[in-house]
Amino acid sequence: MTAQTDLLRFITCGSVDDGKSTLIGRLLHDSRQLLDDQLAALAADSRKQGTQGNDIDFALLVDGLDAEREQGITIDVAYRYFSSTARRFIVADCPGHVQYTRNMATGASTADLAVVLVDARKGLLTQTRRHSWIVRLFGIRQIVLAVNKMDLLGFDEDVFRQIEREYRALAQKLGIDTVHAIPLSALQGDNLIAPSANTPWYQGPSLLQVLDAAPSRVEEGADTGFRMPVQWVNRPDQNFRGYAGTLASGIAKPGDEIVVLPSGKRSRLARIVSADGDLPSARQGQAVTLTLDDEIDIGRGDLIAAADNRCETSDQFAAHLLWMDEAPLLPGRPYWLKIGSKTVSASITEIKHRIDVDNQAELATRELAINEVAVCNIALAEPIAFTPYDENRTLGGFILIDRQTHATVAAGTIDFALRRAANVHWHAASTSQQMRAASLGQTPRCIWFTGLSGSGKSTLANLLEQRLQALGKHAYILDGDNIRHGLNRDLGFTDADRVENIRRVAEVAKLMTDAGLIVLVSFISPFRAERRMARELFAPGEFIEIFVDTPLAVAEARDPKGLYTKARAGKIPNFTGIDSPYEPPEAPELHLHTGKNSPEELVELILQRFEL
Could you list the active site residues? 525
In sequence order, which ranges of 138-266 are alpha helices (DSSP H)?
A: 157-174, 207-213, 217-220
Query: Do the bridges between strand 312-323 and strand 232-237 make them parallel or antiparallel, or are there none, so unpaired?
Result: unpaired
Cβ–Cβ < 8 Å for 106, 139:
no
Q: Cβ(158)–Cβ(45) under 8 Å?
A: no
Residue 126's φ and ψ, nearest 5 degrees, are: -60, -40
The number of beta carbons lying within 10 Å of the beta carbon of residue 90 is 18
Q: Are 299 and 233 in contact (CB under 8 A)?
A: yes
CA proximity to 339, closest of 398, 260, 411? 398
CA distance 288 to 245: 6
End-to-end CA distance of the chain: 77
Hey, CA dihedral for 408, 411, 415, 418, is it positive or negative? negative
Q: Between helices 55-66 and 20-49, what is the axis angle to 10°?
A: 160
- Please give the distance of CA 137 from its chain centroid, rounded to a whole number: 12
Torsion on CA atoms 489, 373, 74, 184, rounded to nearest 10 = 160
Number of neighbours of residue 572 by Cβ within 10 angstroms = 17
Indicate the SS3 state at residue 552.
Answer: helix
Residues whose CB is less than 8 angstroms from the CB of residue 160 and which lie 6 or more positions away in sequence, other chains included: 120, 147, 150, 181, 183, 202
385 neighbors 370 (Cβ within 8 angstroms): no
Q: Which residues have CB under 8 Å from 343's CB, separation 6+?
A: 301, 336, 337, 401
